[in-house]
Amino acid sequence: MPSVPTKPFGNTGVNVSALGLGGHHLGDASDEKTAAAIVREAIEGGVTFFDNCWEYNRGKSENWMGKGLRGLRDKVFLMTKVCTHGRDADLALQMLEESLRRLQTDHLDLWQIHGVTFDNDPDLFIRPGGAAEALAKAKQQGKVRFVGFTGHKAPRIHLKMLATGFPFDSVQMPLNAFDATFQSFETLVLPELNRRGIAALGMKPLTGKAEPLSKNILSVDEALRYAMSLPVATTITGMEKLDVLRQNLKIAQDFKPMSAAEMGELRQRCARLAADGRFEHYKMSLQYDNPEARLAHGFPIDPEQREVKQLLQEAKNTGSPYPE
Amino acid sequence: MSEPNTNPRPRGEMDRRQFVKGAALVSASSVAAAAGAYAQVTAPPAPPAPAPQVPKKPLGRTGLQVSALGVGGFHLGVPRDPEEASRIVARALEAGINFFDNAWEYHKGESEVRMGKALKGKRDQVVLMTKVCTHGRSKQVAMGMLEDSLRRLQTDYLDVWQIHEVVYYNDPDLIFAPGGAIEALALAKQQGKVRFVGFTGHKDPAIHLAMLAHDFPFDTVQMPLNCFDASYHSFETEVLPEAIRRGIGVLGMKSLGGSGEMVTSGAITPEEGLRYAMSLPASTTISGMDSLSVLEQNLEIATHFQPMTGSEMEALRARCRSLAADGRMERFKSTKFYDGDLGREQHGFPSAKELPL
C-alpha cells in the first residue's frame, strides 16, 4: 500500500510524514463522522503529522480530532497550539489541560505558541511570567515532548522570536511559491531554521484560500510539490473533505522533489502576481488577523468577520461545538 | 549616455552655475525677507523683529538647506477653492518654509497646477520637488511625465525629482531594468532638468533597502517617519541610518499616520507627532495641509521647534509601542488603503477597493 514519505523532525531523531493534516479544516468537515473518516483514512495513507489549535472552531477541531484518534493516538505525531496571544504562562497551562482533554490524550508530541503576529509578541512571550515559561514547564512535566511557535504575518517577527534565545524545537510558517518573492519566510526564516536544526513546518501551500488554483496560476500538484520540495519536516494543509484528502494523499505518496529549475520557474511565474501581497492576505491585511489575538492585545476587531461572529456567539470557549 | 538631447534649449555649465547662484539666493533672500525686505541695504538702526521662522537643515550632501517642515503637494489639491492652495503656499513661504513636495499623479495634475500658480515669481525661493509615476514603466514614460510636471509647475527645472510609490516587491527590479525609470533620473540630471534625484515609498523598509542596494547615486529618499514607525516595520531603525551613512538627504512623511489617525484616535497630540518626526535626523518632515488653519497649527509647532531629547523620544516610542504592533496606526504599511490605483493598474493588480483592507 502506498504511503506518504517521512522526513526528520529537526534534530530530534523523530520522523514525521511529509504531509500534515491541518486541524482548522477538520472542524470545517460536514459532520463529526466525516471528520473521523478523514482522520482514519489519512492515517491509513501514511499521514502521521496532525495539526490543531486550542482556538480552532471554538474547540470543535480538537474535539473532533480527539474522537477520530480514539485507539489511534500512538500512530500519530500530535501537535496543538496554545493561544495566549501575549498573556500569562498560567493561562497557557490551563489551555494545555483543555487541549489534552479534548484531544483525549495525556501528552502532546508538539505544543506551539499560536499566531505570533504582532510586533510586540516576542517581547510578551519571553517576559517574566510569559508563555515561554509554560512551554518550558510543560516539557519538563512530560506533558509535551517538543515545543515551537507559529505565525503567518512577517518573517521579521519570526526572527525576533528566534532572537529571544528560547530553545524551540519547531517553527511553523507559510511556505509557497508566492511567499518566495513577497516578505519571504522561505528566504528569510527557513535557512536560519535549517542552520539551527529546528524543524520547519510549512503551511498554506495553496496560499490559504487556494486562489492560485481557482485562477489557474498553479495546479494543486505544482503548489503542493513546491512546498514539499523545500527543506521542511512537513507541509500542513487543510482537508475538510475526503476527496481533497485523497487528492493530496495521491500527490504526497507519489512525491518526487522538484528540481531547482522547476522551482525557479514556479517562483518566476508567481513573482509579478505576488508583489502586492494580495495572494497572501494573511501577511497583508488586518482583517486576516485572528480576532482572539486582537482582543488579547486590546486591538479593535471587525464585527463582520466570520471568526468574530463565532466569537460573539459563543463568548466562552468551552470546547463544545460551535452552534451553527 | 548616448541619448540625444531632446531639450529645445540645451543646458550646460551656464545653467548649472545659475543653479548654484539660485541656491545662494535662497538663504540670502529668506534672511532678507525675515528681517523685512532688503532692510540691510539701507541699514536702519533697528529692523523690525522677524516673524517666527521654521528652522532649516541641510539636505544630505546636496548643499541645499531645506525647511524642517515641508508642504505636501497632495493636500494642496484637496480644498475646493484653488485660491486656498495659493494662500497656504504664500503663508508657508512667509514663515520660512522652502520645501515643496508634489507628484505627477496627485489629483490628476491639479496639485502641480495649483502649486505652479502659487509659486509664480517665487520659484527661486524654494526647493521644488515632484515625483514621477512610472510604476514600473519605461524611461520614455518618465521623461514625458517630467515635461508635464515642469509645464504644470511653470518652471524649467526641478530641485528634486523622485520615483513615486516604490511599494511593490518587484519595483526595484522594474525600476533598474534596462530602459527603466532609473535611466530617466540619470538622463534628466545630465540634461540639467533636475538637480537631484531620489525615490519614495510608504510600504516596507525591505523595499527601500533593495533600492539602495543597487548603489545608484540617489540624493534623496523619502519614507514614513513617526513615533509609531519605530515599533512596526521600522524605517527609522532599518533605513534611516543607512541613508544617513550614505549622505542621502532623508525626507520624512506621514508624521501623524497619513490621515491623522494617530491624533484622531487620541493616541498622541499633533505637537508630539510632529516634534518627534522633526527630531529625527531627517532633513525635512513633509506634512499635508489642506487649510490655513492646519498650516497655522503646524507653523506654531515648527517655528518654536526644540528637538526632543533622547529620553523624551524613547518615552513617546514606549507609549506608542503596544498600539503600533498591529499596524493599524500605519495603514500605508499594513493595508493597501494608501496604494494608488494608477500604480496598481500599471502592475496589473486589481484596485485596492476590490480587496480586503
Same domain as B229, residue B90: yes
B232 within some domain = yes
Q: In which domain, by residue range, is B31 found?
A: 12-50
- Asked whether A246 and A47 are in contact (CB, 8 A), the reply is no
B1 within some domain = no
Is there a contact between B356 and A285 if contact means CB atoms under 8 Å apart? yes
Residue for cell digits 513546518? A201
B352 within some domain = no
Which residue of chain B comes nearest to A274, CA vs CA?
A: B169
Same domain as B188, residue B337: yes
- Topology of domain A6-313, per CATH? TIM Barrel (3.20.20)
**Nearest-by-Cβ selection for B321 from A120, A156, A298:** A120
Same domain as B334, residue B205: yes
Which 3 state secondary structure label does DSSP give A205? coil
- Asked whether A193 and A200 are in contact (CB, 8 A), the reply is yes
Instruction: Quote the ipTM score.
Output: 0.77
CATH (domain of B177) = 3.20.20.100
The Cα B32–Cα B23 span in angstroms is 14
Is there a contact between B326 and A289 if contact means CB atoms under 8 Å apart? yes
Is there a contact between A276 and B324 if contact means CB atoms under 8 Å apart? no
B357 within some domain = no
Same domain as B178, residue B141: yes
Q: CA separation (Å) from B58 to B79, B130, B250?
A: 31, 19, 10
Same domain as B203, residue B284: yes
Query: Considering only CA atoms, which of B283, B291, B311, B290 is closest in space to residue B54?
Result: B283
B44 within some domain = yes
| Range list of H helices, chain B | 13-34, 39-42, 73-76, 82-94, 110-118, 139-152, 171-176, 181-190, 205-212, 235-238, 240-245, 261-264, 270-279, 292-303, 310-324, 331-334, 341-346
pLDDT per residue as tens, chain B (357 positions):
333 333 333 333 333 334 333 333 334 444 444 444 444 455 556 666 677 999 999 999 999 999 999 999 999 999 999 999 999 999 999 999 999 999 999 999 999 999 999 999 999 999 999 999 999 999 999 999 999 999 999 999 999 999 999 999 999 999 999 999 999 999 999 999 999 999 999 999 999 999 999 999 999 999 999 999 999 999 999 999 999 999 999 999 999 999 899 999 999 999 999 999 999 999 999 999 999 999 999 999 999 999 999 999 999 999 999 899 999 999 999 988 888 888 888 888 888 877 765
Same domain as B45, residue B157: no
Distance from CA of A158 to the nearest CA of B (A): 13
Query: Considering only CA atoms, which of B336, B221, B354, B242 is closest in space to residue A182?
Result: B336
Number of domains in chain B: 2
Distance from CA of A298 to the nearest CA of B (A): 8
Predicted local distance difference test score (pLDDT) of residue B320: 96
Same domain as B163, residue B17: no
Residue B333's CB is within 10 A of a number of other CB atoms, namely: 23
Which 3 state secondary structure label does DSSP give A112? strand
B269 within some domain = yes
Same domain as B85, residue B196: yes
Ordered by start, the domain boundaries in chain A are 6-313
Residue B55's CB is within 10 A of a number of other CB atoms, namely: 15
Same domain as B75, residue B42: no
Which residue of chain A comes nearest to B355, CA vs CA?
A: A278
